Amino acid sequence: MSTPGTSRTTTAFYAQAALSFGIALLAVVLGICYLPVDPWQRAFLAMGALFLVSSSFTLAKVVRDNQEQTQVVARLDEARVERLLAEHDPFKAA
């Protein structure tokens, strides 16, 4: 069950993202393999590409976790306000 304000990723969008990532990674790997440079320069570029890919995944996870945490806090605050409003009786003598 989906709550209002949350978006679901479609299968087509997920497949497109995975496919474009795979094609881009393959292009970089092939470009590094066929580059007319010394092997140590090729290895340096390969290590840089590997670090870039792994840090991109880490950054995406951190951003996602931060957004999920913000949504949870907002839902908790909303639930607290709803509970206070439900318990409030304006006709009750103070």
Average pLDDT value for residue range 23-29: 96
Beta strands per DSSP E along the chain: none
In terms of pTM, does the model score above 0.75?
no
Q: Which residue has the higher pLDDT, 65 or 41?
A: 41
- Rounded percentage of the chain residues whose pLDDT exceeds 70: 90
Which DSSP category does 93 fall into?
A: -
Please write the tens of the pLDDT for every residue from 50-87.
999 999 999 999 998 888 888 877 787 888 888 888 88
Distance in angstroms (rounded) separating the CA atoms of residues 62 and 42: 30
- For 5, residues 6+ apart whose C-beta sits below 8 A from its C-beta are 71
Among the listed residues 60, 53, 57, the one whose alpha carbon sits nearest the alpha carbon of residue 28: 53
Among the listed residues 16, 42, 10, 38, the one whose alpha carbon sits nearest the alpha carbon of residue 29: 42
Give the per-residue pLDDT at 1.
Answer: 43
